[in-house]
Amino acid sequence: MPREITAYSNPLIKWARDLRDKRHRREARQFLAEGLRILTEARETGRLPSLLFFAKPSAHHPLVQELVRAVEAAGGEAIETTPDILSKLSGKDNPQAVVGVFDEFTSTLAGLDRSSSGIWLVAERLRDPGNLGTILRTGDAVGAGGLILVGECVDPFSVEAVRASMGALFTIPIVRTEWQPFLNWLREGPGQLVGLSLDTDFDYRGARYAAPTFLLTGNEAQGMPSDYAAACDLLVKIPMLGKADSLNAAVATAVMAYEVLAQQGGTTRKA
């Protein structure tokens, strides 16, 4: 049976609210996710929050009731609260119906099965949480095997990145690593490393992408280092017909991913 908390001064509310802070999040190894769609997708992948906050006006929504039952059955706690407190937790003036506290999770390079998909996404020193979330959504949309974050990337468990992923955070593996361990792992098996670069004249539509293809997107402001580019099997460029010299990192990744998807027959994940 859910308990009710209506005071913002409650220690549990303050603790959950602090998960919006990177340092507190790292110490707790937990993060916030909000919204019925995102939490329902998480439940469908087998991940449930340890704490579920929901507003009293939405208590009778069928999906909220399903989440409450699932969380309590798994040993978690459901808490009925106010829309104002949900707003404080999420940092939004128009809060979602539910906010969940999840344990952090990541995969390892050794745990990836590169044969499970024909396309993998790799991001190097990605700094913008919106870009990271959008790349996760792209990965889910094209059936990518996972997202490999290289170097000092933005935290995939920040509220902004989780929100931008629209649930994709829960649907594909995420690995955080450094460049050399990634490159060593990649060269232990099949895999074509394709870099998106401004320092090439090779049109991305003229390339042939062999499965599994690993698409490498560099830092938004600086691109990828020259030694990373040199390690790629192929560097390609998306032509720009206007005054801009490049696309947003997440948009460029999506354009590339769908070209690979098209060449691989419209499906990348193996049955």
Averaged pLDDT, 116-142: 96
Assigned CATH topology for domain 109-263: Alpha/beta knot (3.40.1280)
pLDDT at residue 93 is higher than 80: no
Average pLDDT for residues 121-129, to the nearest whole number?
95
Q: Is the pLDDT of residue 268 over 70?
A: no
pLDDT in tens, 194-225: 999 888 889 999 999 999 999 999 988 888 89
CB 233 within 8 A of CB 138: no
Mean pLDDT confidence for 11-19: 95
Contact residues for 156 (Cβ-Cβ < 8 A; gap 6+): 132, 136, 147, 149, 162, 165, 169, 174, 176
Q: What is the pLDDT of residues 46-65, one digit of tens each?
A: 999 999 999 888 889 999 99
**pLDDT score for 133:** 96
Q: Which residue has the higher pLDDT, 40 or 242?
A: 40
Our CA angle for 229, 233, 234, nearest 5°, is 75
Confidence (pTM): 0.91
Give the chain's mean pLDDT.
Answer: 92
Second CATH level (architecture) for the domain 3-103: 2-Layer Sandwich (3.30)
Q: Domain segments of the chain: what residues?
A: 3-103, 109-263
